[in-house]
């Protein structure tokens, strides 16, 4: 049996965590992974306010205790005083993976000029990849999948194309995707024969 990919999803919002409005980040991610992943996966979710100590604690718990291989946050990455998700993420990091933040902003800039205000980061803690995603469901899907032209050809790769290989490199389980949603990229030396699980 292949090892199951454990995904931690953390939605960060003062108002959603207080029940003022419904959280949309976690349902959007659950739906997206349901469409995108071709290998077994399970998830743990957290809905917390924009408090740096609480974000740090949730990230540490999902990695250190729950054993998540991939942790995704939504919300709290802008320049407002309460937006502290990047600070919390960097505080618990062993290593920073700057390419993820660079690519997320590159994708979003194709839609809105305010994408340059986003401070999303990607980091590694132990054997887990932690990524800050946007808060809006449409932006979450665009960031993960990238931009395609009218013929369905990828114009700007989404960040998830690189996630399975990154998880390979840090000791996580093999992850396959449905190519019509997002095609996982691995160099030839890291690919498995089609019959292997």
**For residue 197, is pLDDT > 50?**
no
Q: What is the pLDDT of residues 72-120, one digit of tens each?
A: 999 999 999 999 999 999 999 999 999 999 999 999 998 899 999 999 9
**Residue 75 three-state SS:** coil
How would CATH label the architecture of 5-190?
A: 3-Layer(aba) Sandwich (3.40)
Torsion, Cα 115 129 184 186, to 10 degrees, reads 120
Contact between 66 and 159 under an 8 Å Cβ cutoff? The reply is: no
Q: What is the pLDDT of residues 116-150, one digit of tens each?
A: 999 999 999 999 999 999 988 999 999 999 988 88
Q: What is the pLDDT of residues 162-185, one digit of tens each?
A: 999 999 999 999 999 999 999 999
Give the pLDDT score at 78.
Answer: 94
Work out the pLDDT band at 155, boundaries 50, 70, 90. Answer: confident
Give the pLDDT score at 98.
Answer: 97
Closest to 14 (Cα-Cα) out of 39, 60, 62, 49 = 49
Give the pLDDT score at 19.
Answer: 86
Give the pLDDT score at 196.
Answer: 47
pTM for the complete prediction?
Answer: 0.94
Distance (Å, whole) CA 40 – CA 110: 32
- The residue ranges of every structural domain in the chain are 5-190
């Amino acid at each position: 049996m292949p090892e199951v990919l454990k995904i931690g999803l953390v939605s960060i919002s003062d108002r959603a965590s207080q029940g003022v409005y419904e959280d949309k980040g976690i349902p959007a991610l659950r739906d997206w992974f349901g469409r995108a992943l071709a290998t077994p996966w399970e998830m743990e979710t957290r809905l917390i306010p924009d408090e740096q100590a609480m974000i740090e604690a949730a990230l540490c718990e999902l990695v250190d205790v729950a054993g998540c291989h991939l942790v995704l946050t939504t919300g709290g990455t802008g320049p407002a005083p309460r937006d502290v998700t990047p600070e919390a993420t960097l505080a618990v990091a062993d290593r920073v993976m700057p390419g993820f933040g660079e690519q997320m902003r590159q994708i979003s800039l194709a839609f809105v000029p305010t994408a340059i205000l986003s401070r999303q980061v990607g980091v590694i803690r132990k054997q887990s990849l932690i990524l800050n995603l946007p808060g809006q469901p449409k932006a979450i899907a665009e960031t993960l999948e990238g931009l395609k032209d009218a013929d369905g050809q990828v114009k700007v790769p989404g960040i998830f194309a690189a996630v399975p290989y990154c998880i390979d490199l840090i000791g996580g389980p093999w992850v396959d995707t449905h190519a019509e949603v997002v095609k996982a990229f691995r160099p030839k030396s890291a690919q498995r024969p089609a019959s292997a699980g």
